[in-house]
A and B are shown apart, each in its own frame.
Chain A
Amino acid sequence: DAKTTQPPSMDCAEGRAANLPCNHSTISGNEYVYWYRQIHSQGPQYIIHGLKNNETNEMASLIITEDRKSSTLILPHATLRDTAVYYCIVRVRTGTASKLTFGTGTRLQVTL
């Protein structure tokens, strides 16, 4: 199973871009990278996912390196409400089953 490595914490000033890195050096060709975030004591919220190409939606952008061994989640204009734990996950496939395994994530603190 491909595992991910994220820094335990990061700070970002409000209004600036938050760039959250993730290493997944053992990812295989058919595994997707997913990002979720969890605000304190709530259920995680899906943000974005990708396979090879960069992706963008209304919440964030996902940049995946050409060798797919790492990725970066970009929140273009961070606000205080973006303070949360961000999880980078690689989707595992086992036969026809698939499950998402969550690590400890990156705690992003957005400050004034």
Chain B
Amino acid sequence: DGGITQSPKYLFRKEGQNVTLSCEQNLNHDAMYWYRQDPGQGLRLIYYSQIVNDFQKGDIAEGYSVSREKKESFPLTVTSAQKNPTAFYLCASSIGQGRGELFFGEGSRLTVL
């Protein structure tokens, strides 16, 4: 079945450590996105990528980094510079930037101790 796979589902890290969240899709979608969600809040866009080897900052990119070396993969690194990293992280993809609906993964819940 086609879809988006995020891993790990739950992750615990000590303060000051970088952590990388994985996002893989087999939908042959060009565009991929990372969102952050805090309790009781909506989704805020961190980064998005229209095509391989290209990505753009979203609304809250500070303290995060991404890469898009392959069409299927869009990993997100939460760096030690992110002041409040504990959150629910959601990856999504769409056929193309500006076209089609977004398909979301099941999310990764990061807790920094």
Residues in chain A within 8 A of chain B (CB atoms): 34, 36, 41-46, 49, 87, 91, 93, 96-105
Bound: A34/B94 CA distance, A: 14
Q: Is the CB of A105 within 8 A of B97?
A: no
Given A44-B104, A46-B103, A103-B42, check contact A98 B98 (CB 8 Å).
yes
Q: Is the CB of B48 within 8 A of A99?
A: yes
Q: Quick check: is B74 within 8 A (CB to CB) of the other chain? A: no
Q: Is the CB of B107 within 8 A of A42?
A: yes
Q: Is the CB of A100 within 8 A of B102?
A: yes
Q: Is the CB of B59 within 8 A of A101?
A: yes
B residues 48-99 near A (Cβ < 8 Å) are 48, 50, 56, 58-59, 88, 90, 92, 97-99
B92: nearest chain-A partner, CB-CB: A43
Bound: A100/B45 CA distance, A: 8
Interface SS majority for chain A: strand
Taking the nearest CB of chain B, how far is it from the CB of A65, in angstroms? 22
Q: Is the CB of A102 within 8 A of B42?
A: yes
Known: A41-B109, A44-B43, A97-B48. 15 other contacts (CB 8 A): A34-B101, A41-B88, A42-B106, A44-B90, A44-B92, A96-B98, A97-B56, A97-B97, A97-B98, A98-B98, A99-B33, A99-B48, A100-B45, A101-B59, A104-B42
B9: nearest chain-A partner, CB-CB: A41
Chain A residues with CB below 8 A from B107, complex form = 41-43
